[in-house]
Structure 1
């Protein structure tokens, strides 16, 4: 058995007692180990499951687990097995329900940006449209955890840079495959979105997710650089390769109404990093809780819950994937402040919170197994389908 968690010895977590000893540890693959241990915390004992990933090993990499469409969900175990991952955890918060908008279905799409295999899948929704707990001061829906082409993990921000060039002039692009568009904007939907309805993108406002859906909308389909169809309301169904659907609301809708079938249109979009010069091979949203070894100001130290989080150590060469257990004996979980303290005690300099509660899932292969197994107890009694996750891959 491995001797692990030495970084926790004698460390005091925020609002908690020193963490307990490792109860189980095993090698999942070269450069990938799994541990579980108890954490005495303010609201009771939490039980942690941790994957330690060494990106210095050239056979190990991290990637985005996803079901093949932005607006789709699947259990983490199914995503991992489908993509050949040896381990993984759930990812970003997502559009899980639409009780405030009768007749509008939840898309299942994630809140923040997402990049898979170097390809931008989506951008971030407005802050007021996000699902999940309140963001810490100074953070945004554009915050991401990712790994660059330099194989270093880091925290960053990814902003959308895009435009729609028409005979009337150039329009700024306000969204890319998002379940919510900024008021007055035009958003682009590609084949990566999937077949879900695009109606949700015109509901709510930048500050109020529950606000009514806009009644001033327009949709334009572009193929081969020209408009091929228009509609007064957003539609649904798969988007063919080489096709972009533009959805406008308010001012954006009025601009799109000027485009007749046959009009030339050019759509351009990319995600721009706030700090990294290395292009991202993989990234997903959430929010930072630890930066340069210091917890972010204003972290919630009262609300305990089952959590999933990521820690970054050794200048981005090592990654810690943390998922708490949702069994009744441990369901009280940790506060966000305690999560930051836990990951710092484990050696992380930076840390990032992912979706928690019923979404929290950690999977890993047992030695010799061809498929992963769920290592924690999901708090809902079974795996919750999620839009994405962090996958750990090991090549021979």
Structure 2
């Protein structure tokens, strides 16, 4: 028998909430019911939310697009999120974007939050549940694809699901009044969100009860509708959901396999037009459910009931009901327009709620998704919070408090983490787009989502707007469009109207604008009688606070290639990547070329390191990297390496082999590692083991490892085990987020592991840590190829020279050699000023003079300083700062403050006040 395992949140329950209260049965032949397809959701996330400023009645009367100020820092308990943007999606639905900044312990936190607010009193908007691929359950798709497939104008991801089984929601799902899946009765405290047919929101728990009645009147309990398999209970009470049970599968179920994991033997019955049309005893029917029909899957005692009581041609009646946990809630199946499952209750009666389930398995500061409603039950809130490169994410406790501050009266947690996705249709446009930045940089496929739909008729033109970037860099090119919307904020077709574009700063080619000088630009579009303008900001070097190259760990070797995006932080704190075509690159110590932001190293000089200077509009930053040599360790072509497989825990299965043909590379041999993390508990790993776990010796003292990995987009980690000279085992990260498919070359910095040389490569493996495991795929295969190690060049250490200068003396002593100066150091405003070219040349730096800009550039190893004559502003290692005394020109030489330049380059300075002399080293 296979190991009996469930998803983590199946096994843990902090507090049970028994569902009590009577429900009203819904009799009738199932075949007469209009079954619809659905699917969505996964396990991950988290969420944040912001308060709506002003009265709620004004929310849907405001301007189509509005912006507000940014937040100021405060404590977590005091600081509220600040609205930064608001836009109509359609009549009755708005997108609101917030920034929440606060202090979490000793850390300043910044999280970006999105909220879609839906007015249920507006007759032209509705909520419904979206499904996976092709509108089917037991399948997945991104929220964006679900919205496009179903015609939604906005939406967020929905319910959790077990990634180790068939892809179905954990909780119930009703779409357009049709039941797609039933709740899991063995899970307590799992709350749901629904909208009744009289347009009232409800959050409650529900239990499923049903039965199958044969023509003879004999009946058997119906365990569920469109549910996958799982195990529940523990020890002697461990049970399989499909053992001795009948489950019903509708034509919404996408697969031929229905609840089959090998633990039960299915007997299946095909029902068409309310009558038995086929019975398959002891094996599954080899078909998907036909349209309008359904299949009963029975096992054990339930299968005995089927074979004893059902015959081909017999009528079959299906009855089922949903019983709410709140006895005052009288809703049942027939009352719902839509219903979707969730997790723990977050907010109740406008206050943070106690957890209704153990939340330890979904802890941390993650992306979050939640859904809730206002006290008057008029407004529904769909809320997401980001954990991404520029957003810190939040905990579930923080999510509760933020929902309360938003004005949410009752709310339930939805799937989050890598599943958190919000999509919306920008005003005046026809297509929905991703609104938030996802946690792992990819749009995860989920089983269902909550969709926002417009039911408004076609209206008359109510307004125009120009769509395009609000901020550009000097010289940047960008597309703009003139869009129109009607009185219901739905887009209108502008294809018959050609807009003429003009700008007061910059130029247009068609609808492509090229930004002019720094400042602002007013763009104007004219089409017939309609004219619309838009003012944008154009950023030049004066608005940049810092510039950095997002460089990986680099070693400059011939043929090496690196992607080097350049990110500007503006003086208002906003960050943006500078387009590659706006960056001027300068190479020192090596030659290279750029294609976009991709550097290819060509030739490396004799120096121990090289410098790469990136410059935007005169503002510079530096990348400093060692030069070295690359040595191939193995490409698996000729080497008969001793390689084996092992796993942790023992329930994990997989295989390893060296073979050709992987990923379409017919002639290339690579190490192929297959894994199956379906079974077992806790952290899981599948290992390729070298030399019977004794490891393979690595020559010398490498600083980096380079490896090609063919990823499977599973979000699992890839690591290596390295045994060092002291016998210590080091687990080296190759990637902690395998979010790609196909080949990718990765560089691994070994210096951070404090290795004692020599070293051995023991294992390469795929692992899924316990925390966040439900985010990752349980099965997959990767390939490893072209493992090499990078070594630093062995060069003689440069001796540090000693330089001595004296104020008002035109001589300097370099070590023991006296040299003449044509400009002596001087004192200005109590600041010692030194001739920078002589000083830098003597101490081994490079100095460059730009006569047009009156700019001095000083470069030495990992330090870069740029100064402008008679200007207090300077740029030091990519960051803007100031000096009290600016550089000046005296006697045709540029003099700079000694303290500034010595601190910038880490020079040791000794000052002799009696002699007014300076010693630099």
Give ranges in structure 1 of 5+ residues lacking alignment. 99-105, 129-137, 204-212
Cα distance change, pair 38–17 in 1 and its aligned pair in 2 (3 A): farther
Cα distance change, pair 4–25 in 1 and its aligned pair in 2 (3 A): farther
Separation in structure 2 between the aligned mates of residue 184 and residue 93 of structure 1, nearest angstrom: 26
Bigger Cα displacement from structure 2, 273-282 vs 81-90: 273-282
Q: Which has the larger radius of gyration?
A: 2
Given that 2:203 and 2:410 are in contact with CA atoms closer than 8 Å, whether structure 1 keeps it comes out as yes
Structure 1 residue matching 2:128: 3-state secondary structure: strand
**Which residue is 2:278 aligned to?**
228
| Residue 359 (structure 2) pairs with residue 294 (structure 1) | no
Separation in structure 2 between the aligned mates of residue 232 and residue 39 of structure 1, nearest angstrom: 58
**Which residue is 1:359 aligned to?**
419
1:214: how far off? 2.0
Note the alpha carbon deviations across 1:78-99, whole angstroms, 9 max, x for none: 2112222211111111132x2x
Structure 2 residue matching 1:151: 3-state secondary structure: coil
The match for 2:128 among 40, 51, 63 is 63
Separation in structure 1 between the aligned mates of residue 399 and residue 176 of structure 2, nearest angstrom: 29
The match for 1:384 among 420, 433, 444 is 444
**Which residue is 1:314 aligned to?**
375
Separation in structure 1 between the aligned mates of residue 85 and residue 438 of structure 2, nearest angstrom: 19
* TM-score normalized by the length of structure 1: 0.82
Cα distance change, pair 66–271 in 1 and its aligned pair in 2 (3 A): farther
The match for 1:90 among 143, 157, 160 is 157
Separation in structure 2 between the aligned mates of residue 17 and residue 233 of structure 1, nearest angstrom: 61
**Which residue is 2:219 aligned to?**
170
1:255: how far off? 2.6
Bigger Cα displacement from structure 2, 380-389 vs 264-273: 264-273
**Which residue is 2:404 aligned to?**
344
Structure 1 residue matching 2:174: 3-state secondary structure: strand
Q: How does 1:8-157 map to 2 (within 5 A)?
A: 16-40=77-101, 42=104, 44-67=109-132, 68-96=135-163, 98=164, 106-127=165-186, 139-140=189-190, 143-157=191-205
Given that 2:143 and 2:157 are in contact with CA atoms closer than 8 Å, whether structure 1 keeps it comes out as yes
**Where is the strand percentage greater, Structure 1 or Structure 2?**
2
Given that 1:16 and 1:338 are in contact with CA atoms closer than 8 Å, whether structure 2 keeps it comes out as no
Separation in structure 1 between the aligned mates of residue 375 and residue 396 of structure 2, nearest angstrom: 22
Note the alpha carbon deviations across 1:208-252, whole angstroms, 9 max, x for none: xxxxx4244422223342251213134564211342211123332
Separation in structure 1 between the aligned mates of residue 247 and residue 322 of structure 2, nearest angstrom: 17
Given that 2:218 and 2:309 are in contact with CA atoms closer than 8 Å, whether structure 1 keeps it comes out as no
Give ranges in structure 2 of 5+ residues lacking alignment. 1-49, 55-70, 230-240, 457-921
Given that 1:304 and 1:334 are in contact with CA atoms closer than 8 Å, whether structure 2 keeps it comes out as yes
**Which residue is 2:52 aligned to?**
5
| Residue 252 (structure 2) pairs with residue 192 (structure 1) | yes
Which has the higher relative contact order, 1 or 2, with Cα contacts under 8 A spaced 6 or more apart?
1
The match for 1:250 among 286, 290, 300 is 300
Note the alpha carbon deviations across 1:126-150, whole angstroms, 9 max, x for none: 446xxxxxxxxx613xx31011111
The match for 2:366 among 302, 305, 324 is 305
Separation in structure 1 between the aligned mates of residue 256 and residue 397 of structure 2, nearest angstrom: 36
Separation in structure 1 between the aligned mates of residue 382 and residue 115 of structure 2, nearest angstrom: 5
* TM-score normalized by the length of structure 2: 0.37
Cα distance change, pair 273–86 in 1 and its aligned pair in 2 (3 A): farther
1:375: how far off? 0.8
Given that 1:214 and 1:249 are in contact with CA atoms closer than 8 Å, whether structure 2 keeps it comes out as no
Cα distance change, pair 237–333 in 1 and its aligned pair in 2 (3 A): farther
Separation in structure 1 between the aligned mates of residue 258 and residue 201 of structure 2, nearest angstrom: 33
1:263: how far off? 6.5
